[in-house]
A = this chain, B = another copy of it.
Amino acid sequence: MKTRLLRTISQVREYTFGIRQRGLKVGCVPTMGALHAGHGSLIDHARAESDAVVVTIFVNPIQFDRKDDYERYAKGLESDLTFCELRDVDAVFTPSVEEMYPEPIATFVDSLDLSNYLCGASRPGHFRGVATVVAKLFNIVQPDAAFFGEKDAQQLAVIQQMARDLNFPIRIVAVPTVRESDGLALSSRNQRLTPEERLNAPAIYQALTEGRRMIENGEWQAEQVKTTLLNRLAGQPAFRVEYVDIVDPKTMQPVDSISGDVRIAAAVWVGSTRLIDNVLCRAS
């Protein structure tokens, strides 16, 4: 199938309006491009649950706290388009920065409580930028459902909270993390790793699964789990741990004593690349 390429907000509106008028369902997969099998899984889920799939590709400047990170963010539209065509995507919306921000933006969407810990602590304004651009994309595409990966668990929680709090008429679908065969979570940032860093990177997921085993085996003290993970990660000289935490999966607030569902989340610098990962676990 030929994937439509839409560059402007009015093109997207016209396209999805026509679909809704025919009583059909639109599924939206918001991305920043550099598509990999993780996005492929989001698209597959959207494909299965929607009549028309719209992938948005937009590297959103207002969610980057570091200019160099924004500028390094991989952009390769041609291969992303081929990727989408192979997966039967109906339309790709890839606006310019000027189309999305014709004037400096003055209105922001913010979920303070969810945004201040974990990644929010080291990336001020990041989740405000994410929530704001996702609200914009929701209002532009007006999908019935939108698909987000569990790998970015805090982003997922912020968007779920936003959709609930602001009554967006959109179903938010969480899609499980896709991993390499050695356990490394897929991420556009993985391509920045040197061969040696790539070899060591799966140690993050190994540490998380060890934490999950501890919890499933009855460990209820978050501090014990964290200490074990930190010791494990300290064995990797190229790693610098930004955080390891055990949080409530809905509120993303750290817990002291573990019960019910919790998420173990970590952010680790591997050389000059920041990787995040998490696992959901159910206390025994």
The residues of A with any CB-CB pair to B shorter than 8 Å are 9, 13, 21, 23, 103, 105-114, 131-132, 135-136, 139-140, 142, 161-162, 164-169
A49 to B40, CA, bound (A): 44
From A170, which residue of chain B is reached at the shortest CB distance? B139
Q: Which residues of B contact A111 (CB under 8 A)?
A: 106-108
A108 to B136, CA, bound (A): 14
A169 to B167, CA, bound (A): 15
CB <8 Å contact, A161 and B9: no
A166 to B162, CA, bound (A): 13
Q: Which residues of B contact A142 (CB under 8 A)?
A: 169
Q: List 26 A-B contacts (CB under 8 A).
A: A9-B167, A13-B169, A106-B111, A106-B114, A106-B165, A107-B109, A107-B111, A107-B161, A107-B164, A107-B165, A107-B166, A108-B110, A108-B111, A108-B112, A109-B109, A109-B166, A110-B110, A132-B165, A132-B166, A136-B166, A136-B167, A139-B166, A139-B168, A140-B167, A140-B169, A142-B169
Q: Give the copy number.
A: 2
Q: Which residues of B contact A109 (CB under 8 A)?
A: 107-109, 166
A243 to B257, CA, bound (A): 52
CB <8 Å contact, B106 and A113: yes
CB <8 Å contact, B162 and A107: yes
Q: Which of A107, A132, A135, A161 has the most chain B CB atoms closer than 10 A to its own CB?
A: A107
CB <8 Å contact, B131 and A107: yes
Q: Which residues of B contact A23 (CB under 8 A)?
A: 21
A140 to B167, CA, bound (A): 6
Q: Which residues of B contact A140 (CB under 8 A)?
A: 167, 169
Q: Which residues of B contact A106 (CB under 8 A)?
A: 111-114, 161, 165
A106 to B114, CA, bound (A): 8
Q: Which residues of B contact A105 (CB under 8 A)?
A: 165
From A23, which residue of chain B is reached at the shortest CB distance? B21
Q: Which residues of B contact A13 (CB under 8 A)?
A: 169
Minimum C-beta distance from A94 to chain B (A): 16
From A251, which residue of chain B is reached at the shortest CB distance? B106
Q: Which residues of B contact A110 (CB under 8 A)?
A: 107-108, 110
A135 to B167, CA, bound (A): 8
Q: Which residues of B contact A108 (CB under 8 A)?
A: 109-112
